Structures are given as C-alpha cells and as structure tokens.
A and B are shown apart, each in its own frame.
Chain A
Amino acid sequence: MSDKQEVTKREETQLAPAMLPAVDIVEDETGISLTADLPGVPKEKLSVRMDGQNLLVEGEVVLDTPEGMEATYAEIRSPHYRRSFSLSRDLDPSKIDASYKDGVMRLRIPKAEHAQPRKITVQVT
C-alpha cells in the first residue's frame, strides 16, 4: 500500500460517516429542553459530553442480526449518530439532567442562576 493510500484511509476513519439525529429544542424561562431520536442505540452506547462550550451527543447503533444476514434494503446506512450544539453562556452545563428511554434522549439544560429572568423594579427617586 502506498503512502498516499494510507493517508486517505486514516482520513476516512476520522470522518466516519454519522447521521444527524432529529431533535426538538424548546426554551422556557428556566432552561432549554432538548429531545433527540436515537433509535437502535442502547443506553450504554450513548454518550453526552461537554467539549468546551459545545454539547456533543454521540450514539452507536447496535442491532441484533442473525448470522449470515445480508442487507437487502437500507434507509439507515450508518451505525453512528453524532450532533453537537454550542451552548451560550447563560446556560449551566454542570446541571444538565439526562434521561433515555426507547431510543429517545431527553436533556434539560437549566439556565445559570444569574441568567434567570428577574423583575427589575424601577425606583423613583
């Protein structure tokens, strides 16, 4: 194998194709709720982490396939999901709450205390 081929191969592994999971994102007064569809990902293959200011969601699809099975038709063509979101500074990444059930992940990212809405009284002097 020539050098060029090796380099190309390495790049391919780094850029392993991944699907973007479908998400719903809703903001209310106290924080942001993020719901993502990750069908086929067992809980132990799901990873949610902060990378600097970015929230990175990754998952690996694990399907039970009988021996000798060949794909005859495929709409899901990658075993990986990956998506990242940049969080603004008014959110508190240390207090993210996550749950996962039946291929649906739910995250709650609360707003930092100082960013919660407050009413400012206008003082009349």
Chain B
Amino acid sequence: MYESLLRFPTDLFSEFERMQREMDRLFGTWSLPTSIRAVARGAFPAVNIGTGPKSVEVYAFAPGIDPAKLEVSVDRGLLTISGERPSELPEESDKVSVYADERFAGSFKRVVSLPEDVDPAGIEARYRDGVLRVSIPRRESALPKRIEVK
C-alpha cells in the first residue's frame, strides 16, 4: 500500500525492475540456483524446467518456428534445442520505417543438463502455441515406490 506512494509510473525501467522483483517474490523462484549453462536474461528461446514424479519437462518458448526445423537432441545427459528463426523485417527505405525490432531473429541454441535419473530413450517433443515441450521420463527405478510394511 505504501509502496504505491513511492512509485513513479513515468520511470518505465525501474517499474519493470520492480515488477520483476515482485514476480520473483510472488512465484518464489528467486532462490532457485541458475544453471551453469544459462545465458543472459532475454535469451531466445526462454526455457522453463519442471520436475514431476514421472518425468522431467523442459519448455522452450520459441514462437513462430516451423516444427520441422527445430532440432532436439540428447547426448550424455545434455539436452540441446536448436533452430533458426529468419528475420521478417523488410528493408528500410523512405517509404518503410521500422520502429521496433525486438523479436529475435537468427539461429539459436540452448543446452540444458538433465538429471541423472532420466531415460533419454523415452524422450518426446511436442510443439504447440509456440512452445516446444520436451518430456523426458524418469527411470523406473527412480519412481517413488510405496513400500509395504509386513
């Protein structure tokens, strides 16, 4: 409540910073360690990773890409996602002006290290609404088991 008194909406950058901090606080992810292969904020595609009881899910936010041109591979515990997104911007001329050029264009590659207990043979990748979802099942032996008390 008091925070709003101190905020100056004209300062967009600090506003954005504040939002980011707020987000971190709300989602409680600030304490998560960053991966050693993480790249600077704003890298393409952004990646989220989730771990479930049966699988590890990697979500790559890569909109506007032909799924046939997305390469997904696993090698020695490293998942690599690569591809290319061609630029769609027209040439600037006296009749055409480009005001914003924020969307990523070019080739990209992201590498994610997978936990030890996954089974790369059962890997599955799907592309929907611009998000590539890679599901890697966990090994049978790693699944939680109920032990019966006799």
Residues of A that sit less than 8 Å from B by CB: 4, 7-8, 11-12, 15, 17-18, 20, 22-29, 35-43, 62-78, 101-104
Q: Which of B4, B47, B64, B88 has the most CB of A within 10 A?
A: B64
Q: Which of A12, A25, A77 has the most CB of B within 10 A?
A: A77
Interface string of B43-59 (1 = CB under 8 A from A): 10111111111110101
A40 to B130 alpha-carbon distance, docked (Å): 6
Instruction: Please tell me the size bucket of the interface on B.
Output: 35 or more
Q: Tally inter-chain residue pairs, CB-CB below 8 A.
A: 151
Complex contacts, A78 vs chain B, CB 8 Å: 23, 27
What are 26 A-B contacts with C-beta separation under 8 Å?
A11-B1, A18-B19, A23-B100, A24-B89, A24-B103, A25-B99, A26-B98, A37-B63, A37-B64, A39-B45, A40-B61, A40-B131, A41-B129, A41-B130, A62-B129, A63-B48, A65-B50, A69-B50, A70-B51, A71-B50, A73-B32, A74-B48, A75-B38, A75-B41, A77-B24, A103-B61
